[in-house]
Structure 1
Amino acid sequence: MTDALNAPGGLSRRRLLTAAGALGAVGLAAALSGCAADDPLAQQARAGDNKNYVAGDGSVTEYAKDTRKPPVDFTGVLYDGTKLGSKDLVGHVTVLNFWFAACAPCRVEAPELEALHTEFKPQGIVFYGVNLRDEQGTAEAFEQSFKLTYPSFNDKDGQVLLAMSGMVPPGAVPTTLVLDKQGRVASRVLGQLERGTLKTLITSAAAE
C-alpha cells in the first residue's frame, strides 16, 4: 500500500493532490447552491460539528498497482431492485460512495459526486452509492433532493460493506473508493471528499 503523501516519487503526486484539493474547495463553495446551501445538516458538516456520524480524517490514499489487494467480491441490490455484482463492474473504473441520508458531510459532497458523475459518464466511468442505513423512501428522497442520477445499493444488511472490510471502517461515513478496471481498490478518500481531489484520483485510475 502506498500513501499518496508518502509514496516514492510522491512529491509530484502531493503537489497534484494539493492543487486539486484547492480547486475542489473553490468548486465546493460554488456548488453549494439551492437545496445543498439551505440544508441544515450540510451546514452542520461545514461547521465541523461532527454530529450523527463518525467523521473520517479526510485522508487520501492511493495504492500502487503492484501492491493492490485482489479484486473486491460482492453482490448487492440497488434500490430499483436490480441485482448487481462486482464482476459486472470489471472493465470500468468505478466510484463507490458509502453514505446515508442523515450524514451531514454526505449532504455536502452529494453535489460534487453528481457533478463528477456527469463529467465522467461519457468516458465509461461508473458511480454507485452504497447506503448503509436508510429505508428506500428515505434514500430516494435524498437522491431527489440532491438530483442524483447514479444509483445506490441498499446495503442495510451490510453485505457490500463487509466485502470492503479493511478499506471502509465501519461507521466512518462518508468513505469513497475508486476501483480500477480489474475491480481492485486504487484509492480511498476517508471522510468528506473534495471534488478536485477525487477527480485527480479517477483520472489517474482511468489512465492505467
Structure 2
Amino acid sequence: MMVLDFYFIGCSGCMASINPLNAIYEKYKNKDLIIASLTERDSQKAVLDFEKRYKIRYPGYINAAESVKSYHVTTFPTFYFIDKEGKIGSVFVGFTDNF
C-alpha cells in the first residue's frame, strides 16, 4: 500500500499529520507500506531542514506540481491511499484527530 501525502511547510493540518504519519510508518514500514510526502511549493533546502527538525521518518519529494495537478489536489493536506494494484482506495482531504 502507498500513502501519498500532499503538503506544504507551515500548513496547520500538514503539521498536525506528522506524528500520526510517523507512527503509521513505524508500525507498517516492514509490511510493504510506502509513505511519500509531496510538496510543490517548498525548496529542497527547506524540506531537508523541515524533515530534520520534525524527525520525519518517511521520504519527502519536491517539485511535485505535476503530481498535484494529476491528482487534482486543491486543499492541503490531501492523502491518497493506493493499493498494491495501483488503485486509489480512498482519499482524505484535510486533517482531523480521527485520521
TM-score (norm: length of structure 1): 0.45
> Is 1:101 the counterpart of 2:1 in the alignment?
no
Give yes or no for contact 1:97–1:128 (8 Å, CA) kept in 2.
Answer: yes
| Structure in which a larger fraction of residues adopt helix | 1
1:128 aligns with: 36
Q: What pairs up with 1:54-93 in 2 under 5 angstroms?
A: 93=1
- How far apart, in 2, do the equivalents of 1:193 and 1:143 lie? 21
Q: What pairs up with 1:41-190 in 2 under 5 angstroms?
A: 93-156=1-64, 158-165=65-72, 168=73, 170=74, 172-190=75-93
Letter in structure 2 aligned against 1:179 = I
1:75 aligns with: none
Higher RCO (C-alpha 8 Å, min separation 6):
2
TM-score (norm: length of structure 2): 0.90
1:6 aligns with: none
Identical counterparts, % of pairs: 25
The DSSP-based 3-state class of the residue aligned with 1:123 is coil
Give yes or no for contact 1:100–1:139 (8 Å, CA) kept in 2.
Answer: no
Q: How many residues align?
A: 99
- How far apart, in 1, do the equivalents of 2:2 and 2:96 lie? 16
| Structure in which a larger fraction of residues adopt strand | 2
Structure 1 segments (4+ residues) deviating >6 Å = none
- How far apart, in 2, do the equivalents of 1:112 and 1:141 lie? 20
The DSSP-based 3-state class of the residue aligned with 2:45 is helix
C-alpha displacement at 1:150, in angstroms? 1.1
Give yes or no for contact 1:96–1:130 (8 Å, CA) kept in 2.
Answer: yes
Letter in structure 2 aligned against 1:139 = V
- How far apart, in 2, do the equivalents of 1:193 and 1:123 lie? 25
Q: Which consecutive unaligned segments of at least 5 residues does structure 1 have?
A: 1-92, 198-208
C-alpha displacement at 1:193, in angstroms? 4.3
